[in-house]
Amino acid sequence: MLDYSDCKIETVTIELRYDQSLLVWDKVGEIWAEVQTQFPELVLQTGTPTQQAFESFDISATIEMAAFRASCRGVNAEEKVAQVTQKMLQVCADRLKLAVFTRVGLREIRSRKFANMDEANSAVSSLVSPAFAGSLVGDSRLSTFTCALKQESKTNGLSASIRTEERETKVTIPWAFRERITADLSKECLVVVDCDYYTIGTTLRETLNMEEWAKQASRTIKRYWKSVLQ
Amino acid sequence: MSDNVISIDEGRGSQTFVGSLRPQVIMGAAAAALPAVFAHVSDTPPLGASGVPLSVQQLYPEQTDDSRQLKALNLLERARITLLDALNFDPSGNFLQFDQEIMRARAILLRAFMYRDIGEGYAAVVNAVIWALANRKPGLPSRRQINVISASMERLISGPYIHFDTSMQILDDLEEADLDIEPPSLDILIEGYDG
């Protein structure tokens, strides 16, 4: 049986989209200098005219011409990502003269590890009828499971998916170091719970506070999954 | 001391990898601690055709009682209604009842000012209305002035996170309605400075 409370947060991402802003080309240095006053741990990863990405160990933040987003992971990822995006919202809205956002979204990805894929598949196959997940041809067995849906009202939408996946991280180590460093990362068998809650329609800057909005977006996502994964 | 540079290719099984495909370069041997980059939310639908901005209620449909925003907006709405209630009384005939409603509205606004961390624009407007009511002359504010204050409250309720510059326009509207929105001590200080 799969319980939502057993699924640990991998990442929480908040993204705000807006009409293309060419002011990014003029203001991006100022924007990042100000964001770094509150989050000095952020370090430049890529800086191109169309995208600037900054990262720290648990924060990833990007500004583009038509969107900015931040991802956080680990303990308090939900609070942290809301704080980072609130700061980005304040700075970007002022510097890029953004009064309207075309989409505001929060995406939360959680996962739970299992010993093998059979266990992972059996944990989620209980969500559907036994016939649906049962052996279909000969002695076949369930190898992966994916279930996704999307719901929309006039103002908000939610897309959710639950899937099993075998995750493998490949490390390429330069020849000179292979003697000293071994890249032996084991495969992980996971159930991944992925949900995206977003606004439909335009959102005025003057109605938007990311910490308030993220709180209730997270609450909506939790309520949904708790009703599904009991 | 030389640094070991290791490149790592991110593998996420069946999950679509939509982040940067360039090699991640790190210092030392902490490859396993690399951040997972898959932040692009590209699998969501395009924006709906609706051009009408979302209202505060639509944007925050599930606010709980502990929400500071909800508390602040409720106080603003209460203050606005209380001010409009004052219009039921003619200050020339029922001065005490009229003034009581105005004082009640001001008391509610003082509580609303406790949530001034919502933003500089919010704080500026609430502060201005508080002083406008404090500086009122007997029998005032007039119906017109109350309507201007009510409109400024409505503006704040529909957009509590207004920019400070935007709030200046609202303050101008209040001053144009002959409301004195500055604390009297400020005038004394300015006079003293000029003198």
pLDDT over 90 (residue B6): no
**Which 3 state secondary structure label does DSSP give B134?**
helix
Is the pLDDT reported for residue A228 higher than 90? no
Residue with tokens 């989050």: A39
pLDDT recorded at residue B39: 39
Q: Which of B11, B41, B43 sits opposite A168 (nearest CB)?
A: B11
What is d(CA A213, CA A222) in angstroms, rounded to the nearest whole number?
14
Q: Are A124 and A191 in contact (CB under 8 A)?
A: yes
Q: Which of A24, A93, A76, A26 is nearest to A52 (CA)?
A: A24
Kindly report, residue by residue over A197-210, the tens digit of the pLDDT.
999 999 999 999 99
Find the CB nearest B45 among A73, A150, A205: A150
What pairing do the DSSP bridges indicate for beta strands B24-27 and B5-9? Answer: antiparallel
- Paired with A87 in beta bridges are none
Residue A102 in tokens: 């075309």
> What does the block give as tokens for B94?
């029922």
Q: What is the pLDDT of residue B43?
A: 39
Span A30-45, pLDDT tens digits: 999 999 999 999 999 9
Residue holding tokens 């203001």?
Answer: A27
Count Cβ atoms below 10 Å from residue A204 Cβ, excluding itself: 18
Split at pLDDT 50, 70, 90, the class of A178 is confident
The number of beta carbons lying within 10 Å of the beta carbon of residue A96 is: 20
Cβ of B8 and A192 within 8 Å?
A: no
Report how far residue A113's alpha carbon sits from residue A127's, in angstroms, rounded to the nearest whole number. Answer: 18
Cβ partners under 8 Å of residue B155, min gap 6 = B125, B162, B170
Q: Is B131:B176 a contact under the CB 8 Å cutoff?
A: no
What pLDDT, on a 0 to 100 scale, did the predictor assign at position A71? 97
Q: Is the pLDDT of residue B18 over 80?
A: no
Q: Is the pTM of this model over 0.95?
A: no
> When comparing pLDDT for B184 and A39, which is higher?
A39
Q: What is the pLDDT of residue B19?
A: 40
- The amino acid at residue A9 is I
- Beta-bridge partner residues of A64: A51
B28 or A213, greater pLDDT:
A213
> Given CB atoms, is B40 within the 8 Å cutoff of chain A?
yes
Sign of CA dihedral A210, B168, A98, B160: positive
What ipTM was reported for this prediction?
0.83
End-to-end Cα distance, chain A: 8
How confident is the model at residue B49, as a pLDDT?
Answer: 42
User: B110 phi and psi, to 5 degrees?
Assistant: -60, -35
pLDDT exceeds 50 at position A105: yes
pLDDT given at position B195: 61
* Residues in chain A within 8 Å Cβ distance of B161: 205-209
The mean-pLDDT minimum among A71-85, A139-153, B25-39, B105-119 falls in: B25-39
CA B73 – CA B40 distance, rounded (Å): 34
| Helices marked H in chain A | 24-38, 77-95, 117-125, 130-133, 210-228
Average pLDDT over residues B78-103: 92
* Average model confidence (pLDDT) across chain B: 78
Residues of A in contact with B162 (CB under 8 A): 206
Of B39, B69, B159, the CB nearest to A62: B39
